[in-house]
Amino acid sequence: MSSPEHLLPSSATVNLLQATLRDRVTGALVGAALGDAIGLYTEFLSAAHAAEAYPSRRFTLAGAPRPTPFKLDSHRAPKQPGDWTDDTDHALLLLLSFLHTARATGTTSSQLPPQLSHPPPLPSQQDLARRLRVWANQGFRPLETMPLGLGRLVGTVLSTAGFEADPEQVARAYWERTGRRVAPNGSLMRTHPLGAICAFREEGEAFEAAAALSSVTHVDPRCVVACVIGTGLVRALVRGEVAREEDVDAVVQRAVGWYRGMMRDHEGELDKEELLRHVALENGLDDLNLDEQAAIGYVYKTLGSGVHLLRLALRRMAGNKGALLERSRLFEELITDLIMRGGDADTNACFAGALLGAYLGYASLPDHWKHGLRHQEWLLGKCESLCQVLGLREGEYNGQEDRDTEAQGGKPAISEQDMEGRWMALQQTTFKKMEEAAKASASKAAGSSWSLPWQRTKIKQ
């Protein structure tokens, strides 16, 4: 009879599994940033205008001859190809909050899942609230980028007295004041790192963290359950527990069951039929009407588009038996089709990119996208730190020594006067860019009127 030692995986098997898990963790975080950056090309456009602006349906961020230029307008002009938006900024605030109190001793675990004696605490509502307020006033401090794209709901809640002390209470008061109707996607876009962070924690703990961190700004039941589902899916994908569409449905059912069992009565009754209509589409993405101007930021549109792309990926991989070539182009094809439908394209593709990246892995993300992502090396460094903390990569890490993880990114606070100067500099740079583009084009459209480009709030909620 074999001894228990003979049943343990070999060191080579453990190393291979760790490499696979690292690839999925990194794929989720970088895949989301890529979806965000590619989605910026068509954000706020209708599908018809997206087709007119990008008739080739081809986008590149790296390689010859140059990155695909934006349709230059007041929304895109302040950015450069390869930039991510506020969606990824906010997701990274959550990741940095976690890393700030985390440590890694320098050696990987010989067990899978890794057995961490003292797992780091998950981000708190108050810490995320504090970081969001810093971002709104001063930008993403580790990279010194500007706070472009602040949504109406988030902007209102962040500026309310008492937000840092009790953000959920402030968010709930806003929801009540607006008639309990507002359910935008601003919390779903930021919670995907929790799926990776909680990869080796109980599913219920991941659900609870997602619900709490959604409620920092978004307390509507649709927003909360969307974050619970999204976090659960990323976690399951990283763990390799999603191979069929039935596995997707099972995560959704468990998330809904958890929500109904744990959330308070005054949260409001969840319309399960409406939810299922969005996560089990009968006619594909056409059902979502993603460029519906009055509701482009509805959270179920983002949730439904991401879940549908994951279903398509599962079908394609099953039909092609996981061929390497198929994996390498699948992410690009699915994300491109999604963003060409316009609407809140960056947020839709950010969430979908997290799911697809966690499923396909970083190695399968298109090279001409990921190598053109601005701040790629910085982001990969944070992915590496997370993998060290999760016990998937050797190397010591101490979040207290990583200045990027501080609320101010290890830098002195920026005064209001200096921020105004930065806004003015951005305005001037953007004005010059628009002026040069107009001169270079003889068409009437290029010379049409446009509003000042550095709007600090989005049209959506």
All residues at 6 or more sequence positions from 19 whose CB lies less than 8 Å from its CB, including other chains: none
Decide if 198 contacts 122 (C-beta within 8 A): yes
Say what the alpha-carbon torsion angle 334, 339, 344, 348 is, to the nearest 10 degrees: 10
Q: Pick from 139, 156, 75: which is nearest to 345 by CA? A: 75
Integer Cα distance of 277 and 460 in angstroms: 22
From the CB of residue 444, how many other CB atoms can be counted at a distance below 10 Å? 7
Q: Is 87 annotated as a binding residue?
A: yes
Decide if 214 contacts 224 (C-beta within 8 A): yes
Rg (CA), the chain: 22
Q: Pick from 237, 135, 240, 235: which is nearest to 191 by CA? A: 235
Residue 284: strand, helix, or coil? helix
> 184 phi and psi, to 5 degrees?
-85, 175
DSSP 457: B
Integer Cα distance of 323 and 376 in angstroms: 26
> Given phi > 0 = left and psi -120 to 50 = alpha, else beta, which region is 144?
left
DSSP 270: -
Integer Cα distance of 230 and 235 in angstroms: 9
Residue 395: strand, helix, or coil? strand
From the CB of residue 43, how many other CB atoms can be counted at a distance below 10 Å? 26
Residue 45: strand, helix, or coil? coil
Q: Could you please report the per-residue DSSP string of 207-251? A: HHHHHHHHTTT--SHHHHHHHHHHHHHHHHHHTT---SHHHHHHH
Residue with tokens 């003292």: 118
Q: Could you please report the per-residue DSSP string of 166-199? A: -HHHHHHHHHHHTTT---BSTTGGG-HHHHHHTT
Integer Cα distance of 312 and 248 in angstroms: 12
Q: Is 344 annotated as a binding residue?
A: yes
Binding residues for Mg(2+): 85-87, 344, 346-347
Annotated binding residues, written as ranges, equal: 85-87, 344, 346-347
